Structures are given as structure tokens and as C-alpha cells.
Amino acid sequence: MRPPVLDPLFAPVTAIPGIGPKLASSFDRLLGDGKRSARVLDALLHLPYAAVDRRRRAVLSESEPGVLTTFEVRVVSHRPAPPGRRGAPYRVLCEDETGDVTLVFFNGSRPRLESLLPVGEIRFVSGSIELFDGRRQIVHPDRVMDAEAFAKSPMVEPVYGRTEGLSRRMVHKAATGALARLPALEEWSDPALVARERWPRFGDALRVLHEPESPEAIGEDGPARTRLAYDELLASQTALLLVRRRMKRESGTPRIGDGRYRRAILSALPFTPTSAQDKAVQDIAADLARPERMLRLLQGDVGSGKTLVALLAMATVAEAGFQAALMAPTEILTRQHFERLEPWIRAAGLRAALLTGREKGAARRDVLEGLASGAIDIVIGTHALFQEDVAFARLGLAVIDEQHRFGVHQRLALSRKGEAVDVLVMTATPIPRTLVLTCFGDMDVSVLREKPAGRKPVDTRVLPLDRLEDVETAVGRAIESGRRVYWICPLVEESEELDVAAAEERYAALKARFGDAVALVHGKMKGRDKDEVMARFATGEVSVLVATTVVEVGVDVPEASVMVIEHAERFGLAQLHQLRGRVGRGAERSVCLLLYKPGSGEIARKRLETMRDTEDGFVIAEEDLRLRGEGDVLGTRQSGMPGFRLASPARQGELLAMARKDAELLLDRDPDLESPRGEAVRILLHLFERGDAVRLLRAG
């Protein structure tokens, strides 16, 4: 049960005065997660990324062109656009005791502007002066206010990420409305740490950011934002430690295989596993044979063969008479895993099944009956695996692919489907050693650094966007020679709608040139439609696949040998590396073209140089951390992965280490969180939606 003190924050966003059903739908798009509507908490934690500073006041004669300034002026006259002159602006002449200025409005409504700027009245106008034919003008002033509105208006106005239908003021009003509903909460951080770092309290930090007194107050490394990032990291680390300590307390079940299924699978393979794969398989088999539960992280670069290691682990469990489940984050990846692994599973005499949200009716019923009776040995599925009606006869191993896409509670939900279930989590995002120690310190770790034999290097080139015509010509040559091409469209901002729009625009341009050889896939399409397009690309019916980053993880088309990434400077290093990993999987020599906008900045340039110079994902991950760029090594907001709202573990490694140490000390002294500080930390866990960890405490 969530503590009642937090109920005001978990109320729908419509609980904030001024937000009715119409505005709520816009806030749902901005702050909801697709499955639930926006809440007061979401508005509270939607932090500004910049601020408009209106504190500068001046008389007109002392105005500086191009500098945002607030002027107190008297309205002299209105000059509407002449009749028949479409596109001509509406002008309003204003003055103070030192000079005059013309306010310029394009497509301005006369009744609205006469109401906003009545002749003879005093108004406070905020905007940037520019000179036109030697005269001062402000085109579309930022703000026009009477004295009463000016007295109430913040002089430093926070700027938020927005969506269609929401103005800057609406988002700010929602944030301040959420602040008003924030209850007084007990301090959950170590008081000595808070004093040493000179951090504000949680509520005060939010006020500093939503009601800043200066633009510097909302700085990324300022005390307010750092405090909130620390709180989120502390919640995350406490939750992880509670889960792992609980798992360690539970005794495991030794699962000792006799090797028969593994030998059958290995003899069916058209290749020989690498020595790193062999070592990982041996380590996992040794873990499974112990009386303690296994919790192992398997990390390997793109194409290093993690899936085969997972299959051999599942076969080991089947040899011992148990079932295994592999959970992947998307339907495309799940179906691909099944299609690749099922022939080898069948060759070993085992039975596999697929379970996603798409399986309905009799097909779903058959799978559920097979899992409950034990007739199915291995199931490969999406989130559908941990639904209530899914029951296993003897689940022994849960394999979680792309672990950062699942919350702790989702991993727990699957491991609870059996008794003392062993857990193997996998990631294709190479994690720097420092972060492995900090975030996965209680896990055993296997690393696959070798690429399977036959994987060819990818020729990576960095080109300015003005070479787009040359790139399209090269794509035409690739199509003629029977090659297949990925064309990844730019991340626009934190808005899937805009990303899709960019992809549709590029698709239209390429289709006009290459016709039916071009297809489009993006994350807003239905699963069945995405799979159908991917299947056409895989069979060669389509030669060019225009896509958003939906192809980033797991899609495997060995015949694809060209990867074009448009506006590559907008992507994080880890994501660029994942995308490049989609090519270089077949016999063809592969190329990756990174198209960038000139003048993109130093960090963007270094990212692209790193991509050009190395294919080693671990080198790239360390460089990503060093550059403290956009990419969050553990899973980025930028790539649409759920993860941290306020913190960036990659950029804030020292803060993460502090939170880890604090969580360890707290749980050593107060393992059940029963002290006054422990009770406050329980509130923190619910606040950052790590409530499953609290439920674990109650379950003993």
C-alpha cells in the first residue's frame, strides 16, 4: 500500500486547478507513459531545462538590440495591415519618455490586439529590440502585460519540454499547481551528507527549479538539481539492494544438468562458439549447480552471441527437469529470438513456445496449458509472461534480455513464477567497468568481448548533411547490386510524433526516387504491421528500410550491409553503436554513413570521431562516460528507454557511488527500514515508484 501522505501526488493531473479534460489529454501526451494518464507527480517531476530572464529593465533609448528586455511603455496608436495586403503585419506604436518602438504582429487579430494594447494605456512589454530602417521594433513580443499582471509575473520564467496544445505558461502553471499539492515529507537522506553538500530539502529543491530566482538556479550541476538526482539514485540503489538481499536470503535449488541437451544443440550449430561463450556457459552451469540462487549479468557487445549462451543455460535447466523463460522487451525482438532458437531447441528434443500480447484464443490457451502442465520446456515472450494467468509447472530459470528496459518489479514478477528461480540478465549495451561495479556490484558478471567468427568490420564514414544527394546516389547503386539498406531518421526531440514525422518525410523523398523498393517502420505502428514490414525487408522484397530507432535492438537481417544515420550528432554514442551493429552480420562488406549537421558542437564531433575510429563497444562505452554526453550508458531517455527521470547515472557516476554507499549503510543498520529514517526512505521508494521493493520487505 502506498502511504496516504502521497495520495495528492498520485491523483490525476486534472486535480490541479485549471486543468480540465481538454488540457489533460495534452498533458497525457507530454507526461503519460501510454498505459496511464498524467498525474500530479508527473507535472511535479517534469523539470525545466532552461529559463527566460526578464529581469533586465531599460528605457527605450538605452535598449540593446537582440537582448531580452522589459520596457514600460504607453500605447500611442494602432496601424492595421492595409486592406488587400495579405501577409502585411499589424503594427502598434508605443513610447516612453525617451523614445518610441513599433510592436509588429504577423496575422494579428485586430480585436485581440486592441484589447491587449488599448490606446493611451501603460503596458509592460518584454522582448528583443531590433532595428529596421533605423527605427526600433519588436516582432511578436514575448509578453505584453498590464501593471497588475506584471506585478504577479515571474521575472525568471522556466522553460519546459512541451507538446502540441500546451504553451510554456500552461506547463509552468501545472508545475506550480503540483508544488502546491506537495505534502511536507520527512528527510530521507543522511543529514550529515545534506549539510556537507549544502543541498536544499526535497520540496525546496523543486521550488527552486519551478520558481527560479535566476537562470543559474536551474543549472544541471546546481544544488537543487543535484539533490533531486541523488534522491532518485538513492531510491534506485535501495530498491536494488533490497531485491538482491532478499534473493540472497532465499535458498536456491541446485539444477545440475547431464549435458545431453547442450550437446545436441552444439552439434546442430553451423558454427563453433567462441572461448568467451564457452567460459560464460561453464560459469552459469556452475552457478545453477549451487544451492544459492543465481543472479548473473551477461553483457556482450552487439553480435557477441549472448543469445546462444542464454539458450545453453536454458538447456542446462531443462536437463535438470525444470522450465526456462526468456523475456525480451519488444515483440519484434521476441519473435526473432523464437525463430532463431526454436530449430535448435527442437533439434535437442525440447519443446518451445512463443507468448506475446498478440497470441489470443486457442493459441494462447495451448501455450498456457503447456506451461502449467510442464509440456513446454522453454518459453520466449514479452511482458505477457508475467501476467497473472501465466503459471509454470516448474520454472527454474528466468532470462531477461535488454535488462535496462525492465523495472526491478517486472524482473521480480517473472522470477516469482516459480520457487527460488535463478535469474540471468543480459544487455547488449556495454557498460563501463565503473558503472558495473556501482550498479551491479552484487551480481556475478560474465562479459563476451569476442565477436563470433565471420563478423566483418564495418567501414564507418562521417559526412556532412550537404552530401545527402551523393548518399542517395550511393543507396541507388546499393539497391541495383541487390544490397539492403537501413536509413535511420533523426531524433527530433523527446517526442515520438516528431520522430515519426521526420521518418515519414524521408520515406516520401526516397520513395519518390526508388519507388516500391522503399518501406517505412516506426514505433507508433501496430506490432503486426511492423513485423510485416520487417519480414518484407528480411526477404528482400524491400531494399531500403526507413526507420526510427525501433530497429536499434535485436533486429537481425544478415543481408543488410548499408546503414545511413541521418543527423547522427543527435544520437548518443551507445545508440549509434547499437544501430551500426545491425549491419556487418553477413558475407557482404558493410558500410555505416553518419550524416551530421556542420557546426554541431565539440561533444557531437568527438562522438562521431569515436564511432569512426573504433567498433569496440566497451571502448565506446568508456568514451561515452568520459564525454558525459547525452547517452545514459544504462539506458537513455533519448532512445526512449524507461529509466531515470532526474538522474543520469553515466554522467553522475560519483553521485551514484554515494547513493550506493548510503543505501548499503542504511540497510546494514536498518534492514527492514523501521527506523524514522527508514520510514522516510519507504516514502522515497514509493515516490520514485520503487514500491515493489517495499512489498518485498513486508513479504519477509
What pLDDT is stored for residue 628 in this prediction? 47
Within a 13 Å sphere around the CA of 190, how many CA atoms are in the beta-carbon half? Answer: 17
pLDDT of residue 418: 81
Res 698 pLDDT > 60: no
In-domain check, residue 178 = yes
Mean pLDDT of 493-507: 70
Closest to 210 (Cα-Cα) out of 165, 166, 235, 180:
180
Confidence of residue 152 (pLDDT cuts 50, 70, 90): confident
Residue ranges of alpha helices (H) inside 348-490 are: 361-373, 408-415, 433-439, 468-480
Which runs of consecutive H residues, i.e. helices, occur in 374-467?
408-415, 433-439
* pLDDT of amino acid 178: 96
Query: Are 41 and 129 part of one and the same domain?
Result: no
- At residue 353, the pLDDT reads 96
Domain that holds residue 68: 63-148
Q: How many CB atoms lie within 10 A of CB 493?
A: 12
Q: SS3 for 269?
A: coil
Predicted confidence band at 190 (pLDDT cuts at 50, 70, 90)? very high
Q: Has residue 450 got a pLDDT over 70? A: yes
> Does one domain contain both 258 and 334?
yes
The CA–CA distances, whole Å, from 118 to 94, 123, 146 equal 11, 9, 10
pLDDT at 637 over 50: no
Is there a contact between 351 and 384 (Cβ–Cβ < 8 Å)?
A: no
Summarize pLDDT for 68-91 with one digit per residue, the tens: 899 999 999 999 988 877 778 999
pLDDT at 42 exceeding the cut of 90:
yes
The residue ranking higher by pLDDT, 150 or 522, is 150
Asked, for residue 50, whether it belongs to a domain, the answer is yes
Read out DSSP for 624-691?
HHHHT-S--TT--TTTT----SS--TTTTHHHHHHHHHHHHHHHHH-TT--SHHHHHHHHHHHHTT-H
pLDDT score, position 664: 92
pLDDT at 588: 81
Do 133 and 159 share a domain, yes or no?
A: no
The residue among 98, 133, 148 that closes a domain is 148
Question: Is the per-residue pLDDT at 396 higher than 90?
Answer: yes
Instruction: Indicate if 70 and 125 belong to the same structural domain.
Output: yes
635 pLDDT more than 60: no
Q: Residue 439: pLDDT above 70?
A: no
Return the C-alpha torsion angle 428, 434, 439, 445, nearest 10.
Answer: 60
Distances (CA, A) of 125 to 60, 248, 536: 11, 64, 58
Q: Indicate whether 561 and 689 sit together in one domain.
A: no
Query: Residue 258: how many CB atoms within 10 A of its CB?
Result: 10
What is the mean predicted confidence (pLDDT) over 492-516? Answer: 78
**Cell numbers given for 590:** 558493410
In a domain, 620, yes or no: no
Judge if 337 and 389 occupy the same domain: yes
| Alpha helices (H) in 456-615, listed in sequence order | 468-480, 496-514, 527-539, 573-580, 602-613
Residue finishing a domain among 614, 640, 664: 614
Q: Assess whether pLDDT exceeds 60 at residue 403.
A: no
DSSP 55-82: --B--GGG--TTSEEEEEEEEEEEEPPP
Q: Which residues are within 8 A (CB) of 683 and not within 5 positions of it... i.e. 6 or more apart? A: 3, 5, 6, 185, 186, 188
Distances (CA, A) of 510 to 503, 515, 544, 596: 11, 8, 9, 19
Report if residue 639 sits inside a domain.
no
Same domain, 240 and 382: no
Buried b (16+ CB within 10 A) or exposed e, 35-66: eeebbbbbbbbbbbeebbebeeebebeebeee
Residues 96-140 pLDDT 10s: 999 999 999 988 888 999 999 999 999 999 999 999 888 999 999
Contacts of 222 (CB under 8 A, 6+ apart): 208, 216
Phi and psi dihedrals of 188, rounded to 5?
Answer: -105, -15
Q: Does residue 635 belong to any structural domain of this protein?
A: no
Would you say residue 628 lies in a domain?
no
Lowest mean pLDDT among 340-349, 362-371, 409-418: 409-418
- The count of structural domains within the chain is 5
Is the pLDDT score of 434 beyond 80?
A: no
Asked whether the predicted pLDDT for residue 433 surpasses 70, the reply is no
Average pLDDT, the chain: 86
Alpha-carbon torsion angle 505, 46, 432, 681, nearest 10: -150
Within its chain, how far is the Cα of 409 from the centroid? 18
388 shares its domain with 273: yes
In tens, the pLDDT along 232-287 reads 999 988 988 887 777 666 677 899 999 999 999 999 998 889 999 999 999 999 99
Q: Which of 409-413, 507-511, 689-693 shows the lowest mean pLDDT across its residues?
A: 409-413
Cell of 605: 564531433
The CATH number of residue 478's host domain is: 3.40.50.300
Q: Flag whether pLDDT at 437 surpasses 60.
A: no
Same domain, 231 and 304: no
498 half-sphere exposure, CB direction, 13 A CA radius: 11
CATH number, position 107: 2.40.50.140
291 part of a folded domain: yes
Residue 685 lies in a domain: yes
Q: Are 132 and 121 in contact (CB under 8 A)?
A: no
**What would the pLDDT profile of 464-490 be if each residue is shown by its tens digit?**
999 999 999 999 999 999 999 999 987
3-state secondary structure of 118: coil
Same domain, 273 and 407: yes
| Residue 454 pLDDT level (bands cut at 50, 70, 90) | low
Residues 98 and 217 in one domain: no
In the sheet with 590-596, reading across from the earlier edge strand, the strands are 458-464, 590-596, 560-565, 484-488, 544-547, 518-521
- Residue pair 174/669 in contact by the 8 Å Cβ criterion: no
Are 394 and 476 members of one domain? Answer: no
Task: Out of 448, 466, 501, pick the residue that ends a domain.
Answer: 448
Angle at 240 between CA 236 and CA 220, to 5 degrees: 20
Confidence (pLDDT) at 288: 95
pLDDT in tens, 294-343: 888 898 876 788 999 999 999 999 999 999 999 988 787 888 889 889 99
Q: Are 72 and 124 in contact (CB under 8 A)?
A: yes
